[in-house]
Amino acid sequence: MASVLRPALLTLLLCGAAGASQRPQWPVQRVPVVWPQQTEERPAPHFLQPAQLELTSSCGPDCHKQAPAPSYWDLRHFLSYETLHSSGQLTETAVGIYGFDANSFYKTPAVRSRSKRQIFGHDSRFSIVGQDFLLNYPFSTAVKLSTGCSGTLVGDRHVLTAAHCVHDGKNYVKGAQRLRVGFLKPQQKDSSGRNGTRPDKMKFQWIRVKRTHVPKGWIKGTANDIGMDYDYALLELKKAHKRRHMKLGISPTATQLPGKRVQFSGFDNDRPGQLVYRFCEAGDETYDLLYQRCDAQPGASGSGVYARMWSRRRHRWERKVIGIFSGHQWVDLSGTPQEFNVAVRITPLKFAQICYWIKGNYVDCREG
């Protein structure tokens, strides 16, 4: 039976209970510059397979921690990106990186190793019901992709999601060229009352995507070990929506998060037409990935993982997207498959890149 979040509990979870002396604060970090240098047209892509909603990798948390830090030239390649236009045109853009010191930025947080996630047990997800919640911030920032994933509004025309929702590592997935984004809307009740429509029943209003950006770190032939670190994409809509969007934020370490907790909302496949909210404790992490124990089903992939912390510069609470839920990652460890819930962390370089995609300049992308 689906759990429904009560108003009092919802307010407590979204606003937090910490007093002024216990305010978890957004860390102040320097943001590098990721600057486009050259754009070339590429051959038109093939759209073959449906979007993958489950990922497979041979590399788990310990494996990722042991991987050598990428060089400056590796990072330039990984952060170069492809842009798929709704016309079918495909371009590739090379980037330069400025103001980035690998020694000060590229460090794996020192945290304890997480225990193996229990796949079975109590379902801790909540279905958000009622227009008072569904159509208000932050739940109003959650959207559905026509390929079956979820996403989060991060600009007047922009949606952040997982790369595997539009590209499988080899090709763009079926439907990526004519990609649409669905906004949950209230179903209008027939004034005659004869159709029996429930007042709280919801439907989607769809907007076409104008172009899609995918980092080259993901496009490496398969959703492989390095590719997992770059499982994110940004969609630009053909027209502006009229909803409040979520801010981007550089991911703090798990120990800096309020209660070490993360939360996100998405459209899980087993609850069609419902927005599903969950929160859980953040577990192990690497520089690029965050492992957590949130219950989720296919369809939630691409959801924005967010946190609410105090901004010292603006002297107010701010809720920001700090990662993208990649999904359930199955890892083959010595012949034994283990499941991990993985989110891609928004690092300073990823923040700089995604912010530039949204703003079109780096001047407005200096604070994460």
Return the bridge partners of 206, or none.
182
Which residue type, as a one-letter code, is found at position 228? Answer: M
CATH of the domain at 95: 2.40.10.120
Residue 202: other Cβ atoms inside 10 A: 16
Q: Does 301 qualify as catalytic in the annotation?
A: yes
Residue 135 forms part of a structural domain: yes
Mean predicted lDDT score pLDDT of the chain: 81
Query: Which residue intervals of the chain are DSSP H helices?
Result: 7-15, 61-66, 72-79, 102-105, 131-134, 348-359
Q: Does 127 qualify as catalytic in the annotation?
A: no
Gap between the Cα atoms of 102 and 131, Å rounded: 46
Residue 192 forms part of a structural domain: no
Gap between the Cα atoms of 270 and 363, Å rounded: 43
Q: Provide the pLDDT for residue 114.
A: 42
Residue 193 forms part of a structural domain: no
Split into its structural domains, the chain has a count of 1
Residues 6 or more apart from 144 whose CB is under 8 A from it?
A: 150, 151, 181, 182, 184, 204, 267
Return the bridge partners of 289, or none.
344
- Cβ pair 269, 298 in contact under 8 A: yes
Among residues 344, 134, 155, the alpha carbon closest in space to that of 242 is found at: 155
Q: Provide the pLDDT for residue 35.
A: 92
Residue 326 forms part of a structural domain: yes
Residue 276 forms part of a structural domain: yes
- Cβ pair 61, 183 in contact under 8 A: no
Gap between the Cα atoms of 209 and 294, Å rounded: 29
Pick the catalytic residue: 164, 213, 241, 245? 164
Helix (H) or strand (E) holding 184: strand 180-186
Q: Provide the pLDDT for residue 238.
A: 96
Residue 320 forms part of a structural domain: yes
Residue 267 forms part of a structural domain: yes
| pLDDT single digits (tens) 29-70 | 789 999 999 999 999 888 877 777 767 666 777 777 777 788
| pLDDT single digits (tens) 102-160 | 766 666 555 444 444 333 345 666 666 666 667 788 888 999 999 999 999 999 999 99
Pick the catalytic residue: 86, 225, 295, 311? 225
Helix (H) or strand (E) holding 264: strand 261-266
Residue 173 main-chain phi, psi, to 5 deg: -80, 165
Residue 33: other Cβ atoms inside 10 A: 18
Q: Provide the pLDDT for residue 131.
A: 64
- Cβ pair 287, 108 in contact under 8 A: yes
Gap between the Cα atoms of 68 and 227, Å rounded: 15
Gap between the Cα atoms of 88 and 79, Å rounded: 22
Return the bridge partners of 325, or none.
343
- Cβ pair 74, 84 in contact under 8 A: no
Which residue type, as a one-letter code, is found at position 201? Answer: K
- Cβ pair 264, 303 in contact under 8 A: yes
Sort residue 51 into left (φ over 0), alpha (ψ -120 to 50) or beta: beta
Gap between the Cα atoms of 233 and 302, Å rounded: 9
Residue 264 forms part of a structural domain: yes
Pick the catalytic residue: 140, 301, 303, 326? 301
Q: Provide the pLDDT for residue 347.
A: 94
Write out residues in the chain with pLDDT < 70, as ranges: 1-21, 54, 56-58, 103-133, 187-202, 221-226, 329-335, 337-338
Q: Provide the pLDDT for residue 181.
A: 97
Bridging pattern class, strands 233-237 and 202-215: antiparallel
Among residues 221, 217, 225, the alpha carbon closest in space to that of 332 is found at: 225
Range of the domain at 85: 3-187+198-365
Q: Provide the pLDDT for residue 17.
A: 46
Q: Does 124 qualify as catalytic in the annotation?
A: no
